[in-house]
Amino acid sequence: MQLSIIKIGGNIIDDETRLAVFLDTFAAVPGKKILVHGGGKLATKVAEGLGIRQQLVDGRRVTDGETLKVVTMVYAGTINKNIVAQLQARGCDAIGLTGADGNSILAHKRVHPEIDYGFVGDVDSVNAAFLTGLLMLEKTIVFAPVTHDGKGLLLNTNADTIAQELATGLGRSFDVSLVYSFEKSGVLRDAGDESSVIGRIGPSEYQELKAKRLIFAGMIPKLDNAFAALRSGVGKVIIGRAEELPLLLAGKAGTTIVNE
Amino acid sequence: MQLSIIKIGGNIIDDETRLAVFLDTFAAVPGKKILVHGGGKLATKVAEGLGIRQQLVDGRRVTDGETLKVVTMVYAGTINKNIVAQLQARGCDAIGLTGADGNSILAHKRVHPEIDYGFVGDVDSVNAAFLTGLLMLEKTIVFAPVTHDGKGLLLNTNADTIAQELATGLGRSFDVSLVYSFEKSGVLRDAGDESSVIGRIGPSEYQELKAKRLIFAGMIPKLDNAFAALRSGVGKVIIGRAEELPLLLAGKAGTTIVNE
């Protein structure tokens, strides 16, 4: 059975008009589907409003206790529930989840030898039985980038990783297409030229482009996640522009990541 | 099949220790169950922090657009997800919902001849099929007091009413016990004396006590909801102290509302 897992980034969430257009397209995708959304700038705005200072350690954002509260509010509250309500308005029977809901994604607080990232989660397991149960009830699942550790702690978790872990965990029961949608048309040969989309990319070409520094920094974790998903049994991974979702799923736009 | 629907108020949510004790007790309740939580003072605190002024019309709180954003953040985000994570930590497989999730509670924006309450919802219907599906997947449902209108709008909705509507909607398929838990031991003969709990109360005694002004103001909507639930087929309604939950469910504490 087909399952589309689509990740949208913060830049779409932050733009009401673009989000509405995307949700029209997403609601129209046939069959079983999961949407994973990132955070966007609203969390920073709310944190600033509440006088919570963003902690940076070596240039990396740290999720301290106060920031975790804001992340939970904004990602699992505002953003998730608004997307769910807007999908319902489009006739798409959506349900919003964090990893704590139905114990759907179990994670642990990141352990790092040098940096304390705070309340950031690295995923341990996906509850495929429960998620399959929801999909069988004809629900479209909308995931906020928040997981839990099973001991009462919520954890801020990278949305790209969640999408990849869901694809992997559900890849055993479904024929999964994983789409990372973002602001570019796909993996570009020339970062400045939107028409230079690479249609297909395999691991050897990826290594080559990375060695030549032709792949820009933000792309690397996305591609690493994509190849990890493919290695663990996901059928298809596509990277491209959110507004082109139907074309991406049909393999007519974006970059398709292949294993060979 | 038995189903316990338990409503807890804001005063428990605001007190971390009391909430933890309550959740221990709730997690231990056997069988199928639903928790409905109110809002608490956190929403007011966050609204103040963000410089959003609480609008009052004739002494009644109004949910304007900015307040709705805070309600969605705090009720559906912070409070709901923390309760879910804490129940998971207690081995209780919880899932948090608003009325938008799975289209579980459909409402409309309140229409009132004199007062514009803003984004406040009056419930139209409960999606019993979906909620039954979740209960059959062995999930414990945790409801935030937020519904939707099916047209993309989230609505702030009274938690007592949600509990009653759920009890009514699910009363056709389950043998429902509805518990309104709060800070008092039950319906009191003497508001100042916690030992004056009325063990059972029927509609005629209720009318009598109300006429004599022996029922305090905050109790009246709770009792009206309770009788409405009984009239529409709910098996049992109990009002009492949250910490006494097992005794309330066993009929050994609190006030049992009867149809007699």
Band of residue A40 on the pLDDT scale cut at 50, 70, 90? confident
Band of residue B165 on the pLDDT scale cut at 50, 70, 90? very high
Q: Give the best residue of B16, B81, B108 to mutate against chain A (max A CB count within 10 A).
A: B81
Q: What is the mean pLDDT of residues B218-244?
A: 89
pTM: 0.95
Q: Average the pLDDT over each of A37-41, A84-88, A154-158 and give the range with the smallest value.
A: A37-41
- Residue B1: the pLDDT is 92
Position B230 pLDDT exceeds 80:
yes
Under an 8 A CB cutoff, do A74 and B73 touch?
yes
Position A217 pLDDT exceeds 80:
no
Under an 8 A CB cutoff, do B73 and A69 touch?
no
Position B78 pLDDT exceeds 70:
yes
Q: Which two tokens stand for residue A36?
A: 């994973």
User: What is the average pLDDT score of chain A?
Assistant: 92
Q: Which two tokens stand for residue B197?
A: 């709990």
- Residue B10: the pLDDT is 80
Summarised one tens digit per residue, pLDDT across range A234-252 is: 989 999 999 899 999 998 9
Show residues of chain B in contact with A134, CB under 8 Å: 137
Position A179 pLDDT exceeds 90:
yes
Q: What is the mean pLDDT of residues B2-27?
A: 93
Under an 8 A CB cutoff, do A137 and B130 touch?
yes
Query: Residues of B numbered 35-54 whose beta carbons fall under 8 angstroms of chain A's beta carbons: which are they?
Result: 46, 49-51
Q: Give the best residue of B101, B104, B105, B119 to mutate against chain A (max A CB count within 10 A).
A: B101
Cα separation, A123 vs B113, whole angstroms: 52
Position A58 pLDDT exceeds 90:
no
- Residue A96: the pLDDT is 98
Decide which of B257 and B182 is more confident.
Answer: B257
3-state secondary structure of B8: strand
- Residue A59: the pLDDT is 66
Band of residue B57 on the pLDDT scale cut at 50, 70, 90? confident
Residue B240 has a CB neighbour count (10 Å cut-off) of 24
Q: What is the mean pLDDT of residues B240-248?
A: 92
User: Tell me, what's the ipTM?
Assistant: 0.94
Contact by Cβ (8 Å): A126, A169 = yes
Under an 8 A CB cutoff, do A102 and B75 touch?
no
User: What is the average pLDDT score of chain B?
Assistant: 92
Position B241 pLDDT exceeds 70:
yes
Residue B231 has a CB neighbour count (10 Å cut-off) of 11
- Residue B59: the pLDDT is 66
Position B166 pLDDT exceeds 80:
yes
Establish if A85 touches chain B: CB-CB under 8 angstroms.
Answer: yes
Summarised one tens digit per residue, pLDDT across range A2-23 is: 999 999 988 899 999 999 999 9
Cα separation, B90 vs A128, whole angstroms: 21
Q: Residue type at B167?
A: A
**To the nearest whole angstrom, how far is the Cα of B254 from the nearest Cα of chain A?**
30
Band of residue A82 on the pLDDT scale cut at 50, 70, 90? very high
